[in-house]
């Protein structure tokens, strides 16, 4: 629940004033982000595309702000996108299935027999969050090693000790463990690193120049740090990207995310049949995709969160509209920022 402060009144007045507009008013959307920025409510970047054409970009706040050093964010600033990474991982898994190198029925035991229920868990159930594998990021011990590089063997050892939360396919429950494992399976099947396959199978294919597997944040590469606010922005410690892997290690920009989801829905990365499977919800989960409604409109996409980064990617098929927002400093929620932007866009 966001604590309402007097300066937020300006944000609500902006949204209210634009409800009577007849066309998309860029100035109104600009003023919304000016208000967020002026009152240190949020730092981040947004991109909106209609019919595959970019119609709006903006960036507010800083990519780094430490001890007098302030680097303004731009539309080219790169951010950690957290769990939106799962959409990239799933895309590569679908490609491998289309290449007959894998199937939805392939058991996890084919790659990691030491994991609990591995003989009963399938690739399809992992994509659907129906494996029952415990979500390792929920454990209290997670914070003790999240900043330390881990090998595949070390991560598998951690997963092997965790009791499953339920029997495979009994229900759906979100678990990062599924997609860390799917990332490893991509590497085993191809003989290449996740980073190499991401470049080959996705980013090079559709021209994503600013999307890649992340490492330690590097301001020299225009990568942002993330922050908490307590009177001023304070930098948050980084998760080592070897930990989230295929579940959350991708770095990108809103503009690249827009290109990605447009390409996905245009059939440029996976088959139409595979896309339909991604969109098919079972207990509110698709295969690395959720439904994200906007009033009477039905969108598809994913959210993301890692360290102080928060992100949202949504595609509205009826309007052929794509929106991506990534924040590295959150006081006014990411969901509300996107809700505000869409409200202005649709008048």
Is residue 180 assigned to a domain? Answer: no
Handedness of CA 171, 172, 175, 179 (dihedral sign): positive
- In this predicted structure, what is the pLDDT of residue 9? 46
Helices first, then strands: H and E counts in the chain: 12, 13
Is residue 304 assigned to a domain? Answer: yes
Is residue 294 assigned to a domain? Answer: yes
Question: Stretch 66-77: mean pLDDT, rounded?
Answer: 92
What's 266's domain CATH number? 3.40.710.10
Domain encompassing residue 59: 6-78+223-233+252-345
Q: Looking at the predicted structure, is the pLDDT value of residue 11 above 80?
A: no
Is residue 273 assigned to a domain? Answer: yes
- Measured CA to CA, the distance from residue 40 to residue 289 in angstroms comes to 31
Is residue 198 assigned to a domain? Answer: no
Q: What is the pLDDT of residues 175-191, one digit of tens each?
A: 999 999 999 999 999 99
- Measured CA to CA, the distance from residue 176 to residue 154 in angstroms comes to 16
Is residue 150 assigned to a domain? Answer: no
Q: Which two tokens stand for residue 242?
A: 């070897």
Could you tell me the pLDDT band of residue 100, with boundaries at 50, 70 and 90? very high
Q: What is the pLDDT of residues 200-254, one digit of tens each?
A: 999 999 999 999 999 999 999 999 999 999 989 999 999 999 999 999 999 999 9
Domain tally, the chain: 1
Is residue 277 assigned to a domain? Answer: yes
Is residue 33 assigned to a domain? Answer: yes
Q: What is the pLDDT of residues 17-30, one digit of tens each?
A: 444 333 789 999 99
- In this predicted structure, what is the pLDDT of residue 4? 39
Q: What is the pLDDT of residues 255-303, one digit of tens each?
A: 999 999 999 999 999 999 999 999 999 999 999 999 999 999 999 999 9
Mean of all residue pLDDT scores within the chain: 93
Query: Are 106 and 122 spatial neighbours (Cβ–Cβ below 8 Å)?
Result: yes
């Amino acid at each position: 629940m966001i604590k309402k402060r007097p300066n937020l009144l300006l944000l609500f007045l902006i949204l209210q004033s634009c409800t009577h507009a007849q066309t998309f008013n860029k100035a109104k959307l600009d003023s919304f982000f000016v208000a967020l920025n002026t009152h240190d409510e949020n730092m981040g970047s947004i991109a909106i595309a209609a019919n595959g054409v970019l119609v709006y970009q903006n960036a507010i706040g800083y990519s780094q702000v430490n001890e007098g050093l302030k680097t303004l964010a731009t539309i080219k600033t790169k951010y950690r996108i957290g769990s939106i990474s799962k959409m990239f991982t799933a895309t590569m898994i679908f490609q491998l299935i289309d290449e007959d190198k894998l199937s939805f029925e392939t058991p996890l035991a084919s790659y990691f027999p030491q994991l609990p229920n591995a003989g009963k868990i399938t690739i399809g159930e992992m994509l659907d969050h129906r494996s029952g594998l415990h979500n390792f990021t929920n454990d209290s011990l997670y914070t003790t090693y999240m900043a330390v590089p881990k090998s595949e063997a070390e991560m598998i050892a951690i997963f092997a000790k965790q009791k499953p939360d339920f029997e495979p396919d009994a229900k759906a429950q979100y678990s990062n463990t599924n997609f860390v494992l799917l990332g490893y399976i991509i590497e085993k099947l191809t003989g290449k690193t996740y980073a190499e396959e991401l470049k080959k199978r996705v980013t090079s294919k559709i021209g994503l120049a600013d999307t890649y597997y992340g490492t330690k944040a590097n301001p020299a590469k225009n990568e942002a740090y993330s922050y908490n606010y307590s009177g001023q922005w304070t930098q948050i410690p980084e998760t080592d990207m070897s930990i989230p892997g295929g579940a959350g290690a991708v770095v990108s920009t809103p503009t690249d995310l827009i290109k990605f989801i447009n390409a996905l829905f245009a059939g440029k990365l996976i088959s139409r049949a595979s896309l339909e499977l991604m969109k098919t919800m079972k207990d509110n989960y698709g295969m690395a995709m959720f439904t994200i409604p906007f009033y009477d409109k039905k969108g598809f996409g994913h959210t993301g969160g890692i360290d102080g980064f928060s992100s949202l990617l949504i595609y509205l098929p009826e309007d052929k509209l794509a929106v991506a927002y990534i924040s590295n400093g959150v006081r006014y929620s990411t969901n509300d920022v996107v809700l505000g932007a869409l409200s202005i866009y649709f008048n």
